[in-house]
Amino acid sequence: MKSIKVHTTPSTNLYLRELYRANPNIKNCYVVAENQTNGRGQMGANWISQEGKNLTFSVLLEGLNLKIENQFKLSAITSLAILKVLKQLGITNLKVKWPNDILAESLKICGVLIENMYSNQKINASIIGIGLNVNQEDFDKMYRASSLKQLTGIHYDLDYVLKKLVKQIEDDIYEFLPYSIEAILEKYHENLFRIGKASTFEFPNGERTTGIIKKVSKQGLLEILFEDHILKSFEIKEIKLLY
């Protein structure tokens, strides 16, 4: 896969999106930035990363031919691919926090932002943006974050970790996209943070309530059973799981 390295860019996802718009026939590639000045996570949250210590990169995968209603497959497969690599690197107690944050010891170490390109009612290509805390050692406590080095004491070669992640994500996307969503979700649920446990959730208006995550639907909605025994489904912008 072709690699593009830049020193500074507002967003690696934006970089690849503009590249794709200029050349829709572009083949699989990835761009990695030493410094990303305006990286975004879910719900528009900023991804804060110290220059030269972490990985901020995006992968463009084309020829997916995926039905729009199955787009959560991309999120689930990507999350599980990242878990595979992190386990190989010696990271333990890993979980996926819905929809695709990666936690270790209940602390966030990786965020994923997926943007899809559509054609004829199908997803033709996808840009998978990833921010992974690798060698950074100090974090604002409010972010409840950690890094590979904090967890293991090992200083990691960024290029080595990058190449392992890119290859695993590319391999797994093409291997598992033909699988049924049920088979993918079964593995995803095995690694889902707080599933089956009483947890606190916050709504956009600041209201908080207690519920239990039952599952994630085929469409990627979080299904929560509340204290009044009512089961409800939510999109990412509709509810937030607190720790």
pLDDT for the residue 47: 53
Q: What residues have CB less than 8 Å from 22, skipping those under 6 apart?
A: none
pLDDT for the residue 45: 53
User: Which residue has tokens 């900023």?
Assistant: 46
Mean pLDDT of the chain: 93
What share of the chain has pLDDT > 90, as a percent? 86
pLDDT for the residue 9: 92
Chain centroid to CA 49: 16
Token pair, residue 21, equals: 């718009």
Residue 196 host element (H or E)? none
Give pLDDT tens digits along the chain (243 positions): 999 999 999 999 999 999 999 998 999 999 999 888 876 554 455 555 677 899 999 999 999 999 999 999 999 999 999 999 999 999 999 999 999 999 999 999 999 999 999 999 999 999 999 999 999 998 877 678 999 999 999 999 999 999 999 999 999 999 999 999 999 999 999 999 999 999 999 999 999 999 999 999 999 999 999 988 999 999 999 999 997
Rounded Cα distance between 108 and 91, Å, is: 13
The conformational region for residue 44 under phi > 0 = left, psi -120 to 50 = alpha, else beta, is left
User: Which residue has tokens 């639907």?
Assistant: 217
Rounded Cα distance between 33 and 56, Å, is: 6
Residue 163 host element (H or E)? helix 158-176
pLDDT for the residue 49: 66
pLDDT for the residue 42: 47
The conformational region for residue 225 under phi > 0 = left, psi -120 to 50 = alpha, else beta, is beta
Around 72, how many Cα atoms within 13 Å sit in the side-chain half-sphere? 20
In single-letter form, the type of residue at position 86 comes to L
Token pair, residue 110, equals: 């990786």
How close are the terminal C-alpha atoms of the chain, in Å?
38
Single pTM value for the model: 0.94
Burial environment of residue 225 by CB neighbours within 10 A (0 to 12, 13 to 18, 19 or more): middle
